[in-house]
Structure 1
Amino acid sequence: MTKQEITCDDILRELRSKQYRPIYYLMGEEAYYIDLISDYIMDNVLTDTEKEFNLSVVYGADVDIATVINAAKRYPMMSEHQVVIVKEAQSIRNIDELSYYLQKPLRSTILVMCHKHGVLDRRKKLAAEIEKVGILFESKKLKEAQLPAFITSYMKRKGVDLEPKATSMLADFVGTDLSRLTGELEKLIITLPKGQTRVTPEQIERNIGISKDYNNFELRSALVERNVLKANQIINYFEKNPKTNPLQMTLSLLFGFYSNLMLAYYAPEKSEQGIASFLGLKSPWQAREYQTAMKRYSGVKTMQIIGEIRYTDAKSKGIGNSSLTDSELLRELIFKILH
C-alpha cells in the first residue's frame, strides 16, 4: 500500500500498537475522520499526568508557522513524547516553511496538523517531505451509496445490528455528514432497551423523529413500484411536515437514485451482484430497487426524469418560478415521474 492510499483504519491500527510518526497531516473535506484521528492521539498517547506538560493544542488563526515549529522542537518533560495539535491548520500562512523542520524532525514530538475543508497541493515540496517522515492523509467525503455500509460497520463495532430498512431510513434522512450521522447512531445506541442489539424502523421513528411510513426512503420505494396512491400519501405528509422533510433533501435523494438507475442500464451484468458491483454498492440487496425500477422505467423516461429533477431544483431556487411553493413543486415533479 502506498502512503497516498493509507486509510483512517490503517492509521488507527498503527496508533493502537503505539507506532507513532513525527507528523500527521490530516486534510480533506470530511471533518469526521480528521477529528477521529486527532482525538485518538490527544486522548491516548499521553497519560493524564503527562498531558499537563506535554500536550499543546493551538489554532491556525492564532499562530504562525514559526510558533508551530518552535513548539515541535521542544523536548518532552518526564515523558517519552510530547503532542502538538494544530487545529484549523489551513489558516496558517507560509505553511510551506514547515518543510525546514521536517528535514530533521524531533522523534519525541508527535505533530498533528488538522487541515479541514481543503487539501495541501501534493505537487509541493511540503507534501513530499511529510510523506517521507510521516503521514499525509486525505479525508474524503463518502458517497451516498457508501452510507449504508458505513452505518452497518459503525454499529457492528458497537455490537449493534440494524434492519436494512432502518439503515436506509437513516442514510436517506441524515445524508453524508458523518459527524451528524454518528451522533444520531450514538443516540440510537443509548435508547436501545437493555439486552436488545437490533435496531428496527420503529425505533428510528421513535428516537430520531423519521416516520417509518412517510420518508424519502418510502417515497423512493413508491416511485420504484409506480405506486401512485402511496407516493401521494407521502407527499401529503411532507406538505404537513416541511421542516423534517425539506425539498432539497428529497431532490438530492431522487437525483442520486435516477442517476444511478441511468448507469444501471449500462451494467454488463444485470444480476443483483452485477449491478451492485457496477454502481459501487456495498451490498447486492441495494441493487434490488434498481432491478425493479428498470422494469418500470425505460432509459428514455429515466433521462426525462433526471431533467425534471434538475428543473425542479432550479425552480426551487427561484429560477423561472415566481409563485409555486416547495410542496407544489414536489407534487408537480412526482406527477411527471409517475405519468
Structure 2
Amino acid sequence: MAADKIIADWKKGSFKPVYWLEGEEDYDIDVVTNYAEHHILPESEAGFNLTILYGRDTDWATVMNACRRYPMFAERQVVVLKEAQQMKDIEKLEAYVEQPLSSTVFVVAYKGKKVDGRSKLAKVLKEKGVMLTTKKMYDNQLPDWTMNLIKGKGFDISQKALHLLVDHIGNDLSRIDNEVSKLLINIGQRKQITEDDIENYVGVSKEFNVFELQAALGRKDMAKAMTIIQYFGNNPKAAPIQMVLPAIYNFFSKVYMIFGVSSGDERAIATAIGVNPFFMKDYMAAARAYQSQGVEKVLLLLHRYNLRSIGIDDAGTEDASLLKEMVVKMMM
C-alpha cells in the first residue's frame, strides 16, 4: 500500500492493527511514521497512549508488551517502532502480528532493507498486516516528483529553478522536501519559485553550477566551462567532484541514447531518453557537437577521471585541476 493511501485511511478514521514500512527509500517511511507519531492521537490522549521505541534499544518482548496494553481513556493506542532493522530477534514479533490487539495501531519502520520473504514473519505480515515497500527513486524521476511536491503545496517553480534544485541536492527526497519548505517560507506571498530563490535560499549559484557546466560542455564552450570549474575550485562545497562527475556522466549517457532513437522529433526523442522537452536543446546541441564517437570518448574519460578522483592512478591532483584536464581532453 502507498504512503499517501495509508495516511488517507488514517485521516478517515480507518485503522489496521499492524503497519510494516520497509525498503530502500526512507522518505515515505518517515512521512508515515511522523504522521503516526504526531497526528493519529489528539494531544490530550498521546501522553498516555503513544509509545515510541527504537530497535537498537529495545527487544521483542518489550515491544509485544507495549502492543498488548489497552489504551487509557481512549479508543486506541499507537506504538511506533523506529529503526526496527537494528532490533535483534525481530522475527519473534510474528506471534503478535498473528494475533494483534485491535485497539493498538502498531507501526514498524524497517529501513534500508526488506523482511526475508521466506520467513514466517513475512508470510504473516502479508496476511494480517499492511505493508509499504519503498524503492529508491531513479534520478530521472526526481524533477517530476519535486514538481508534484511543490504543486501539492499550492506553489509552482520554473523549469530551470527546478533542475537547479534537483541537480544540487541529488537523490535525497527528505532534503529536497526540507529545502522546498524553506523556500516556501522565504518567498512570502509569491506562488512561483524562481532561479533567484534557489540562489538566495538554497545556496546554488544560478550561473556557476553543474547544470550550467553540462550546457557549456554540450556546446563545447571551453571558456565558459573553465570559468565554472574555477568557481568550483574556489568554492569546494558548491559542487564537489563526486557530485559533478556523475551528473555529467548522466547527461552524456542520455546524449548517447539519442543516436539510437529513429525519430527526428525532439519531443519523441525526449520521451525516449527520459528528458524534459524543455531542456532538449542542450542534449541535441551536444549530440551535434560530439557525434556518436565523440560521446563514447567522453564517457570513457568520465570513467577514467572518476577513478582518479578517488585516488586510483592519481597522486592527489586537486579536483579543479582534474576537471580542467578532463574537459580539455573531451573537447580535443
TM-score scaled by structure 2?
A: 0.94
1:261 offset after TM fit, Å?
2.5
- Structure 1 unaligned segments of length 5 or more: list them: 1-5
Q: Does 1:252 align with 2:242?
A: no
Question: What are the Cα deviations for residues 272-331 of structure 1, in whole angstroms up to 9, with x where unaligned?
Answer: 4433433345x4335443333322222222222111111111111111111421111010
CA distance in 2, matches of 1:135, 1:307: 46
Structure 1 match to 2:207: 213
User: Which of 260, 264, 272 is matched with 1:266 structurally?
Assistant: 260
Please list the CA deviations of residues 91-130 of structure 1 after superposition, one character each: whole Å capped at 9, or x if unmatched. 1112122222122211111111111222222232322211
Write the distance in 2 (CA, Å) between the matches of 1:308 and 1:130: 48
3-state SS of the aligned residue for 2:21? strand
d(CA) in 2 for partners of 1:209, 1:201? 11
Give the Cα separation in 1 of the matches to 2:79 and 2:263.
Answer: 51
- 1:215-264 deviation line (CA, Å, top 9, x unaligned): 00111111122222211221121121112121111011112222233334
The equivalent of 1:161 in structure 2 is 156
Distance 1:307 1:123, change over 3 A: farther
Q: Secondary structure at the match of 2:314?
A: coil
Q: 1:103 to 1:184 in 2, by over 3 A?
A: same
What is the aligned counterpart of 1:336 among 311, 329, 332?
329
2-structure distance, mates of 1:9, 1:200 = 28
Aligned counterpart, 1:3: none
What is the CA-CA distance between 1:268 and the residue it aligns to? 5.0
Q: Is the 8 Å Cα contact of residues 31 and 116 (structure 1) preserved in structure 2?
A: yes
SS of the residue corresponding to residue 106 of structure 2 reads strand
1:67 alignment counterpart: 62
How do residues 189-200 of structure 1 correspond to structure 2 at under 5 angstroms?
189-192=184-187, 194-200=188-194
User: Which range moves more in the overlay, 199-208 or 133-142?
Assistant: 133-142
Give the structure 1 partner of residue 170 of structure 2.
175
Judged with a 3 Å threshold, the aligned counterparts in structure 2 of structure 1 residues 122 and 288 are, in CA distance, closer, same or farther, namely: farther
Alignment partner of 2:52: what SS?
strand
What is aligned with 1:111? 106
Distance 1:106 1:313, change over 3 A: same
SS of corresponding position for 1:218: helix
Residues 1:52 and 2:47 are matched in the alignment: yes
TM-aligned CA distance change 1:82 to 1:270, over 3 Å: farther
State the partner residue of 1:278. 272
Aligned to 1:297, the other structure's residue is in SS state helix
Give the aligned CA root-mean-square deviation in angstroms: 1.8
Q: Name the amino acid aligned to 1:57.
A: I
Distance in 1 (CA, whole Å) between partners of 2:218 and 2:6 is 41
Q: Is contact 2:97-2:129 (8 Å) kept? A: no
Deviation readout 1:1-45 (Å, 9 max, x if unpaired): xxxxx3222222222222212111111222221110011111121
Q: Distance in 2 between matches of 1:167 and 1:138?
A: 27
- Specify the alignment match of 2:2 in structure 1: 7
1:270, distance to aligned residue in structure 2 (A)? 4.9
Amino acid at match of 2:288: K
Structure 1 stretch displaced more, 102-111 or 257-266:
257-266
Matching of residue 96 in structure 1 with residue 91 in structure 2: yes
Structure 1 residue 269 displacement after superposition: 4.0
Q: Distance in 1 between matches of 2:81 and 2:225?
A: 50
CA contact (8 A) 1:268 1:274 kept: no
Q: What letter corresponds to residue 151 of structure 2 in structure 1?
A: K
Contact kept? 1:60, 1:88, Cα under 8 Å: yes
8 Å contact kept, 2:21–2:107: yes
Structure-2 residue corresponding to 1:204 = 198
Q: What is the CA deviation profile of residues 47-69 of structure 1, one whole-angstrom value per residue up to 9, with x for unaligned ones?
A: 11111111000111111112111
Measured in 1, the distance between the counterparts of 2:12 and 2:68 equals: 25
1:319 aligns with: 312
Q: Which runs of 4+ in 1 moved over 6 A?
A: none
Matches of 1:167 and 1:10 in 2, distance apart? 27
C-alpha distance in 2 between matches for 1:61 and 1:258: 43
CA contact (8 A) 1:54 1:81 kept: yes
In structure 2, the partner of 1:234 is: 228
* 1:267/1:278 contact within 8 Å kept: yes
- Evaluate the alpha carbon distance shift between residue 275 and residue 66 of structure 1 in structure 2; reply closer, same or farther with a 3 A threshold: farther
Instruction: Return the alpha-carbon distance in structure 2 between the equivalents of residues 69 and 244 of structure 1.
Output: 48
1:289 aligns with 2:282: yes
How many Å apart are 1:265 and its aligned residue? 2.9
In 2, the alpha carbon distance for the partners of 1:10 and 1:303 equals 44
Seen in structure 2, the aligned counterparts of structure 1 residues 121 and 278 have a Cα distance that, compared at 3 Å, is: farther
Distance in 1, matches of 2:105 and 2:218, equals 52
SS at match of 1:142: coil
Q: 1:183 to 1:79 in 2, by over 3 A?
A: same
Q: Is the deviation greater in 84-93 or in 70-79?
A: 70-79
Where do 5+ consecutive residues of structure 2 fail to align?
none
